[in-house]
Amino acid sequence: MRRLHANLLLLTASLIWGVTFSIQQLAMEHIGPTLFTGLRFLMGAAAVLPLALHEAKTKRRRENWRMPPGSLPWLTLTGCVLFSAALLQQIGIAGTSVANAGFLTALYVPLTPILAWLVLRRPPHPAIWPAAAACLAGAYLMAGGALDTMREGDPWVIAGSLFWAIHILLIGAMTARVGAPFVISCIQFAACGTVGLVWGLATEPLTWTSVVGAWPMLAFSGLLSVGTGFTLQVVGQRHTPAADASIILSGETVFAAIAGSILLGQSLSPLEIQGCLLILSGVLAVELLPLIVEKMRNRRAAR
């Protein structure tokens, strides 16, 4: 798969996740955040399971593939990190606006290359830094350019952004190690969903009425956001570095604001529209700047 195609998959994932911000907020009227997180990820695991089994069977027959030793604990850890990120975001969304949640979640954009540099000793391409700055500035404008009016859910979303950055790095490492995206997705979803369901049953009320009320949101977020969106992330990150992926996935902020204006009546101001354009410029920069630099180097070498 070419890198451009991988990046388009990541952009599609960000579109799905952006729409899901509004769906998640609507779900909080019916069900607790932990149960919602657990149930939707278990639905995602069930949706991906047939694909994972087929992928494993095919790779064993064609490539004599086996799960690398020690991979299962790491995939389980990846699922637990995913649960932490999703739960913190879900709790935060219940206490803030969709625009604020989108901005604060976008903090994973600069956090991902910083963590990759500090922890993995992998310095990112220089184009990452201006692209990350553009995305963060755009997300700030989309939040109204007034972070002094923090809401009670904002600290939870900020904490979640750190776990999103760690999750992106773990997915990059797992895709390189395991090489089976559907297997990776299914295992991490199952781990995330199981922890969420057990924790949720112990701490939150669950009634048939709440499940019925939240069912449309559960189906959408479980099948599309989890089953499709996160699987596209795993497939895309096989061919795109983690730092680059974080920039592209930040497009969810733009899609979150657009979906919020359509589904929740949260209109976009001129300032928020400028923020959208800044984020899109960052997404384009991470794709185009390395190509431009490479062409310039080739021309110099040809001389």
For 272-292, write each residue's pLDDT tens digit.
778 878 887 877 777 666 666
Q: What is the mean pLDDT of the segment spanning 224-249?
A: 87
Residue, of 280 and 184, whose pLDDT is higher: 184
What are the backbone angles phi and psi of residue 149, rounded to the nearest 5°? -100, 60
Q: Are 169 and 78 in contact (CB under 8 A)?
A: no
CA distance 113 to 287: 16
Q: Is the pLDDT of residue 303 over 80?
A: no
Residue, of 238 and 283, whose pLDDT is higher: 238
Structure tokens at 7: 């990046």
How many angstroms separate the most distant Cα atoms in the chain?
72
Which residue reads 């979303």 in tokens? 157
Instruction: List b or e across 80-102, with b for residues whose CB sees 16 or more CB atoms inside 10 angstroms.
Output: bbbbbbbbbbbbbbbbbbbbbbb
User: What's the pLDDT at 147?
Assistant: 53
Sign of CA dihedral 180, 248, 96, 110: positive
Nearest to 270 by CA among 257, 282, 281: 257
Q: What is the mean pLDDT of the segment spanning 22-49?
A: 89
User: What's the pLDDT at 145?
Assistant: 64
127 Cβ contact partners less than 8 Å away, ≥ 6 residues apart: 285, 286, 289, 290, 293
Q: Is the pLDDT of residue 200 over 60?
A: yes
Structure tokens at 36: 């919602």
φ/ψ region of 226 (left if φ > 0, alpha if ψ in -120 to 50, else beta) reads alpha
Q: What is the mean pLDDT of the segment spanning 49-64?
A: 92
Structure tokens at 176: 């390189």
Q: Is the pLDDT of residue 115 over 80?
A: yes
Q: How confident is the model at residue 39 (pLDDT cuts 50, 70, 90)?
A: very high
Domain that holds residue 221: 3-302
User: What's the pLDDT at 2?
Assistant: 74
**Portion of the chain with pLDDT greater than 70, in percent:** 89
CA distance 279 to 18: 13
Q: How confident is the model at residue 144 (pLDDT cuts 50, 70, 90)?
A: low
Q: How confident is the model at residue 249 (pLDDT cuts 50, 70, 90)?
A: confident
77 Cβ contact partners less than 8 Å away, ≥ 6 residues apart: 170
SS (H, E, C) 260-294: HHHHCCCCCCHHHHHHHHHHHHHHHHHHHHHHHHH
**Alpha carbon distance, N-terminus to C-terminus of the chain:** 32
Q: Are 135 and 282 in contact (CB under 8 A)?
A: yes
The domain total for the chain is 1
Structure tokens at 61: 């027959």
User: What's the pLDDT at 143?
Assistant: 65
Q: Is the pLDDT of residue 264 over 80?
A: no
Q: What is the mean pLDDT of the segment spanning 34-46?
A: 93
Question: Using alpha carbons only, what angle is made at residue 182 by residues 176 and 184, rounded to the nearest 5 degrees?
Answer: 50
Q: Is the pLDDT of residue 27 over 90?
A: no
Which residue reads 């184009």 in tokens? 127
Q: How many residues does the chain have?
A: 303
Task: State the amino acid at position 191 in one-letter form.
Answer: A
Which residue reads 């899901």 in tokens? 20
User: What's the pLDDT at 57?
Assistant: 93
